[in-house]
Structure 1
Amino acid sequence: MIRTFLAAFWLGILIVGYTYVGYGMIIYILSKLKRRSSPLTIQTDSELPVITLLVAAYNEEAFILDKIHNTLALDYPKDKLKLFFVTDGSNDRTPEIIRNFPEIEVFHSAERRGKIHAVNRVMKHVSTPIVVFCDANTALNREALRLIVRHYQDPTIGGVAGEKRILSKDKDNASGSGEGLYWKYESFLKKKDAEVYSIVGAAGELFSIRTELFEEPAENMLIEDFYLSLRIAAKGYRFAYEPDAFASETASASVEEEWKRKVRISAGGFQAMYKLSYLLNPFRYGILTFQYVSHRVLRWTLAPLFLPLILVSSIYLALQGFGFYQMMLVAQVGFYLLAALGYALRDRKIGIKGFFVPYYFVVMNLSVYAGLVRLLRGRQSVVWEKAKRAEA
């Protein structure tokens, strides 16, 4: 019996440690060993390709003017930039506001069938070689499009992801603090993934693809950005990362709002893993399989599974009188007590960076269980209630 708990404990430590720390260290080392390619140059106006910027907006009346002004201020030749806004299902003034700007082509349908259906519908009208996707509640930096497009000078690049940035504050609640730190680490991993080979999943806030590589995801797909980017990588193209092209947004208004988003992403993660199961074959996909399993699959499967097993194993081994496991149990209890304190203070504005990390970590892993249950029960609709964002 002791051997069983010892095996569970150490296997769990290895998997959880590798998933959240070890892989970051390994991919960093691999990126340093990788031979650097020649730096990309930003093209002149005459060299730039014609591109389409596609923005999906649903009931964004409060933010859409800011998005329009931000879009029109982007540094890209106006005669080489087509602006498409799709507003399916919006029953506020969002479509009406956009129509006041003749530079933008509006695609609107009164029926609400979800973002992926809206994007699939509008992609039939995209004729440019490159299409850039971004969300309506994000602001892009002025140079974003030029910085993204320069990567397509390399014919092996099938897509380019920008960076998602959470606007930080000196003092923040659990959602703002936790989400901000999470995305800083996630951005670090994406950058190193791309330096070694390819990122494994673009964030919908800002990414682009070669239009010819677009495949219509099924209309029940929950995280189409993740699925689409990996489908392109599976075809042998690399998905680049451009950290200097970024989409900024505020954090979720509260952990409750962030929970809705995390559960949906987790449900979509299981759905995508099922559809992308062929990527688990390292003999065919090589380094891509390594990156995919290490960066994504373990986060949604074994790591959350082993967290409670580590705790249970520690309790059993501590009760047997093993001093090391007693210390490990104390450390885990302390961590979860900090998570509980974070829960109690989740809506307080606290200036200690990292204070809410234990709480956010627990919420993130619990959302995996909730997402799996929701997916199995068929309760996660592709049409979902978007998470409310905090005020800037």
Structure 2
Amino acid sequence: MMFNDSYLFPGFVVLFWLSVAFIFYTYVFFPFFIQIKAGKKKIKAQQFTPEDELPVVSILISAFNEEEVIEKKIRSIFTTRYPVSKLEVLIGSDHSSDKTNEIVEKLLPEFPAIRFFPFQQRRGKGNVVNELYQNSTGSVLILTDANVMLVENTIFELVKFFKDESIGLVDSRMMNTNMHPSGISYQEKAYISREVLIKQHESILWGTMMGPFGGCFAIRSNLFEPVPRNFLVDDFYINMKVLEKGYYCINNMDAMVYEDISNNLSDEFRRKIRISTGNFQNLRRFSNLLWSQTKGLSFCFISHKVMRWTGPFFLLLAFVSNLLLAAKSAFYFYIFILHCSLFVLPLLDLLLRSAGVHVAVLRFVTHFYSMNLALFAGFFKSLKKIESNVWKPTRRNQA
């Protein structure tokens, strides 16, 4: 007797197509929907002009073994058109063991706006930022990584929207550099570029941008709250606290910064496991916003983030239900063959890569599955007690 006649068959059919629809919705439909809805609209908000009395800005940098980039970073800040008299730069060295401290100290006479804090014990980025915040004086904070370079108008573009009292956080536009076909840098850049557009559309429609990229963003000082010591994704926590308080979070596409992108799959996989672990920490902390009355907030949180984070479980459900259906249906058997071929593609990519052959389409499939595997691993890691947010930074520009 065919499985089709069993009462279980329709259930597995529903489970399979719901799982497929779930993945399609978060990766395809939601981005397309908000792009169409946003159209050619722009963010409507009051803005400072260069002639206005601009706020004092505190730039906070947590640095760990950044000897290769720290001087370039500092000089990129002071090429700004923003009044230097309105800037203070607080650099916290997280017990660096290279020449980071020496380089910063050498630059202090040249840049008196720098205040340097060489910590004698590692504490993690979030905790360094918390301590720098306690020592800051500006009404606007810019949190930025040492390897993210600013251009002359970046600071002003981040600050100008704070003339509007309803805006609490402004993100920059990350521009990726130093691409290599041998690794995943092109795929990572495509992913980041797509995320930038999604966040821009969220900003335009509702002011509910789902998290800055973390490399460089600005926040009102009075809205900043210290990140819990064991939280792994501090930027998303800070963003959601601002939304929770009823302020808008937006992306400004004109506030451009530059960063060398990760190219090493294993390094990026390790980084994404850490981010995934932190994502589920934030999901538990901000579960109250899943049913928020703020327009667009719950919709974006669920559609953009929660469904993306839980996607690996639906990929697994789709595979298992397809396997069960394939045993009793020719139609689902052919779908299962196609399904399995998708899992084989990353292995093919690995073999070709070892032979020096790089196929972009295959690398995109590898990138997608590695991201979801990292999300899956991060979920289970988040169930364990996390004592510290100290982590090893990802290497850049390595194949």
Instruction: Report the counterpart of residue 234 of structure 1 in structure 2.
Output: 244
- The CA deviation at 1:39 is 7.4
- Partner SS for 1:108: strand
1:61/1:327 Cα in 2 relative to 1: closer, same or farther (>3 Å)? Answer: same
Asked if residue 2 in structure 1 is aligned to residue 9 in structure 2, the reply is yes
Q: Using a 3 Å threshold, how does the CA distance of structure 1 residues 41 and 209 change in structure 2: closer, same or farther?
A: closer
What is the aligned counterpart of 2:95 among 89, 93, 103?
89
1:60-209 → structure 2 map (5 Å cutoff): 60-102=66-108, 103=111, 104-167=114-177, 169=179, 171-197=180-206, 198-209=208-219
The question of whether the paired residues in 2 share the 8 Å contact of 1:175 and 1:251 is answered with: no
Identify if the C-alpha distance between structure 1 residues 36 and 258 changes in structure 2 by more than 3 Å, giving closer, same or farther: closer
The structure 1 residue matched to 2:49, chosen from 28, 40, 43, is 43
The answer to whether the 8 A contact 2:60-2:144 is kept is yes
Change (3 A) 1:379 1:278: closer
Superposed displacement of residue 42, structure 1: 5.8
Counterparts in 2 of 1:79 and 1:351: CA distance versus 1, 3 Å = farther
* d(CA) in 1 for partners of 2:178, 2:359: 13
**C-alpha separation between the residues in 2 aligned to 1:168 and 1:331?**
35
Please give the alpha-carbon distance, in whole angstroms, between the structure 2 residues aligned to 1:111 and 1:45.
43
Q: Which residue of 2 aligns with 1:18?
A: 25
Flag structure 2 segments of 5+ consecutive residues without an equivalent.
Answer: 1-7
Asked whether 1:378 is paired with 2:385, we answer yes
236-245 or 264-273, larger mean C-alpha shift: 236-245
Aligned twin of 1:313: 321
What is aligned with 1:358?
A: 365
Contact 1:6 1:313 in 2 (8 A): yes
Which residue of 323, 335, 340 corresponds with 1:328?
Answer: 335
- Identify the range of structure 1 (5-14 vs 339-348) with the bigger mean alpha-carbon deviation: 339-348
CA distance in 1, matches of 2:231, 2:389: 7
1:27-55 superposed Cα distances (whole Å, 9 cap, x missing partner): 1122139x655576561255322211111
Q: CA RMSD in A?
A: 2.2
- Counterpart CA distance in 1 for 2:213 and 2:356 is 27
CA distance in 2, matches of 1:208, 1:345: 43
Deviations 1:226-264 (A, max 9, x none): 011111011110001012223322222411110111000
The residue number in structure 2 matching 1:27 is: 34
Are 1:174 and 1:342, in contact at CA under 8 Å, matched by a contact in 2? no
CA drift at 1:348:
7.6
- Counterparts in 2 of 1:154 and 1:379: CA distance versus 1, 3 Å: closer
Structure-2 change in CA distance of 1:182 and 1:350 (3 Å): farther
Helix, strand or coil: the match of 2:395? Answer: coil
CA distance in 1, matches of 2:101, 2:340: 52
* In 2: Cα distance, 1:196 partner to 1:152 partner: 18
**Does the Cα contact within 8 Å between 2:169 and 2:248 map onto a contact in 1?**
yes
Identity of aligned residues (%): 30
- Alignment-derived partner of residue 305 in structure 2: 296
Between stretches 256-265 and 2-11, larger displacement belongs to 2-11
SS at match of 2:305: helix
Change (3 A) 1:36 1:139: closer
Cα offset, 1:382, TM superposition: 0.7
How many residues of Structure 1 are paired with residues of Structure 2 in the alignment?
Answer: 387
Mapped contact 1:374–1:380 kept (Cα < 8 A): no
- Taking structure 1 as reference, are residues 38 and 178 closer, same or farther at Cα in structure 2, changes over 3 Å only? closer
Equivalent position of 2:221 in the other structure: 211
Looking at structure 2, the residues matched to 345 and 368 of structure 1 have their Cα atoms a distance apart, in angstroms, of 26
Within 2, Cα distance between the matches of 1:99 and 1:89?
14
CA distance in structure 2 between the aligned counterparts of 1:187 and 1:347, rounded to whole angstroms: 32
The aligned amino acid for 2:262 is: S
Secondary structure in structure 2 of the residue aligned to 1:174: coil
Q: CA deviation at 1:388?
A: 0.8
348 and 247 in structure 1: CA distance in 2 versus 1, 3 angstrom threshold: farther
Separation of aligned partners in 2, 1:150 and 1:252: 31
Aligned to 1:221: 231
Residues 1:142 and 1:391: Cα distance change in structure 2 (over 3 Å): farther
TM-score by length of 1: 0.92
Q: Tell me, yes or no, if the aligned pair for 1:43 and 1:150 is still in contact at 8 Å.
A: yes
